[in-house]
Amino acid sequence: MTLNHDDWGKVARMMSKRSLWMVHFCTGCGAMEMPPVMTSRYDMERFGMHAMATPRQADVFLVTGYLAVKTLKRVVQVYEQMRDPKYVIGFGSCTINGGMYWDSYNTIKDLSKYIPVDVYIAGCMPRPEAIIDSFLKLMDMIDKGEAIGWKKYHKYYDQYKKNQRMAYAYRLDEVEDIKEDDAK
Amino acid sequence: MMAKELFPEAQELRKGRIRIETIKDKVTEIIKKLKENGYGHFVMLSCVDWIKEGKFELVYQMWSYEYREHVMISIKIAREGDSMVTLRDLFPQIETYEREIHEMFGVNFVGNPRLGEFILEGWPHMPPMRKDFDTEKFVKELYYKIPEVKEE
């Protein structure tokens, strides 16, 4: 029996879905829900997931809550440091539509305008069961080859970058004069 | 000496809570006097926008561990074209409050060299905590207008 390229992709996806490492980057209130998920009560290590300190060794990025524009710069930088394939989980209603910060002048409202999001978890805050459920959903999507956010980021890079610059500048126009290295 | 003895014009709102309303030229002197008389803890400096009067109210809050008494020194300055002197030489922590108020309300503190970008990065609009800054309109015209990424 010989395996062609597609079959090897299937094998790779099957392997990688059981060893997802998560960037340990917490923003907003969602960070409070992570300790029970990570520790013995809900124990996400059952699924082969654990927290990793550096983005370059991680596969999953949990954006745990609201993002100020200043934080968005750091999130984008962390996301771009991660190696492909990489997956983003938007956590709580703040990443979906702003949540309770819907009219705040300094928080972004929809995360998927700035970086591609594979799975959203609704709720304010989502319970650990919901988080575990989203992990299983993500694993399922990886297995089927549906979690392609990172491919979208390559393909529509210009659109994502343009949106990011608009937010950084707090303006819809004249976005060309914003320096790339603002977040450093 | 307690604040009531030092400044007979001070109002006692309730036990342990004193309010002194004054003008901006006297603030330095009052805070210095309180500092020398047992009010050693500068709690915070806050700002209120009284838009109908056209004034900003600056409230300096002090606390004495000795008398267990809280003193508020309140002044009003004009919203436009007015300024306040910095008090960073009396208590170094005032500098940080002044930076924040400068960024959020646009109050100028003369003599503070670090008034610049503090929490916001690259903010091009009016200071956001002013009452005439329409937050909802701003959000609707910026964040909700940023387009979704179109997929072909």
Confidence at residue A173, expressed as pLDDT on a 0 to 100 scale: 76
Distance between CA A82 and CA A54 in Å, rounded?
Answer: 9
Residue B148 domain-assigned (yes or no): no
Distance between CA B40 and CA B114 in Å, rounded?
Answer: 24
Q: What integer best gives the mean pLDDT of chain A?
A: 87
| Chain B residues near residue A170 by CB distance under 8 angstroms | 122-125, 142
Q: Which residue of A has its CA nearest to B137?
A: A103
Question: A39-52 pLDDT, tens per residue?
Answer: 999 988 899 888 88
**Mean pLDDT of the A23-48 span:** 88
Parts of chain B with a pLDDT under 70 = none
Q: Which residue of B has its CA nearest to A151?
A: B151
**For residue A177, pLDDT beyond 60:** no
Q: For the domain that residue B45 is a member of, what is the CATH number?
A: 3.30.460.80
Confidence at residue B41, expressed as pLDDT on a 0 to 100 scale: 93
Structure tokens at A2: 């010989």
Confidence at residue A184, expressed as pLDDT on a 0 to 100 scale: 45
Residue B15 domain-assigned (yes or no): yes
Question: A74-100 pLDDT, tens per residue?
Answer: 999 999 999 988 999 998 899 998 889
Task: Evaluate if pTM is beyond 0.90.
Answer: no
CATH hierarchy code of domain A18-172: 3.40.50.12280
Residue B31 domain-assigned (yes or no): yes
Residue B62 domain-assigned (yes or no): yes
Q: Amino acid identity, residue B92? A: P
Cβ(A61)–Cβ(A25) under 8 Å?
yes
Domain count, chain B: 1
- CB proximity B151 to A under 8 Å: yes
**Reported ipTM:** 0.81
The boundaries of the domain holding residue B106 are 3-142
Residue B120 domain-assigned (yes or no): yes
Confidence at residue A53, expressed as pLDDT on a 0 to 100 scale: 86
Residue B147 domain-assigned (yes or no): no
Q: How confident is the model at residue A179 (pLDDT cuts 50, 70, 90)?
A: low
Domain positions in chain A:
18-172
